[in-house]
Amino acid sequence: MLNIIRTRLAQGFRTAKYPVPNPPLPGGFRGLPSVDFSRCETGCRACEKICPTGCFAPDNGRPALDLGKCIFCGSCERQCPKGAVGFSTDHRLAVRKREDLLLSRAGAYRKADALSAAMRRIFGRSLRLRQVSAGGCNACEADVNVLNTPVFDISRFGIQFVASPRHADGLLVTGPVTRNMELALRKTWEATPAPRIVIASGACAISGGLFAGRAETLSGAGAVLPVDLFIPGCPPHPWAILDGLLRLLGKIR
């Protein structure tokens, strides 16, 4: 016991401050991508050919990047002959609408806005979530679990994960939603009292990720439930998840 106390005293205060402009991120972290369309050559399509999830789509001969499909592998950045594709360290990736995940020449990336005032009155100070792994590989699930550790301490914001959907205000879904998990996901949703919200965390939960279009999956939570928040990544970093949740609750903008 004395050794444990000594260790805790030596470690000191471990909870990281948030929100801050630059939270502690690992070296090599890939955040919000950018595409310099002025460098793209018509008909090049190198990024399309190399992308394992097909997240690049032609836009008048130039790429548009669907972050809902992106697994942030960096292949496009390495293979682009003109260096038009890059990744920033911006972890603020969550959006409210699926179409907002499309990066194109149309304009700036639209980050998640808050729930309606009526919903914020209900959930703004106390949000309980049931996490549902709908066929995931456990990478997204692991980074969701990390939010409960002292470093992130998600409970300080009034957000907690609960064991039963009957005690929850919404669901946080990970995984591509396999057909074997479809009924379980629907039942979990039905057991959650209304009003309720749904969060799709990770490329698989948004679009199916690497498993999109397979007969065994439904290619994302949106095929089964109405989704209120999309958090891209493979897996999304815990800071990205926390940022999205706080934006949804109107605690940050």
- Supply the CATH number for residue 164's domain: 3.40.50.12280
Task: Give dist(CA 23, CA 29) in Å, integer.
Answer: 12
Which residues on adjacent β-strands are paired with residue 86?
34
The low-confidence residues of the chain, meaning pLDDT below 70, are 42, 58-63, 105-107
pLDDT recorded at residue 34: 86
Q: Is residue 82 part of a domain?
A: yes
Q: Is residue 106 part of a domain?
A: no
Task: Give dist(CA 55, CA 170) in Å, integer.
Answer: 28
Q: Are residue 141 and residue 240 in the same domain, yes or no?
A: yes
Last residue of a domain, one of 90, 105, 139: 90
| Domain range enclosing 184 | 117-248
Number of domains in the chain: 2
pLDDT recorded at residue 63: 67
Task: Give dist(CA 158, CA 213) in Å, integer.
Answer: 37
Q: Is residue 8 part of a domain?
A: no
Q: Are residue 55 and residue 134 in the same domain, yes or no?
A: no
pLDDT recorded at residue 35: 84
pLDDT recorded at residue 105: 66
Q: Is residue 235 part of a domain?
A: yes
pLDDT recorded at residue 106: 61
Task: Give dist(CA 163, CA 1) in Å, integer.
Answer: 31
CATH number at residue 42: 3.30.70.20
**Are the C-beta atoms of residues 80 and 122 closer than 8 Å to each other?**
no
Q: Are residue 83 and residue 204 in the same domain, yes or no?
A: no
Q: Quick: pLDDT tens for 72-82.
A: 999 999 988 88
pLDDT recorded at residue 62: 61
Which residues on adjacent β-strands are paired with residue 102?
66
Q: Is residue 25 part of a domain?
A: no
Q: Is residue 102 part of a domain?
A: no
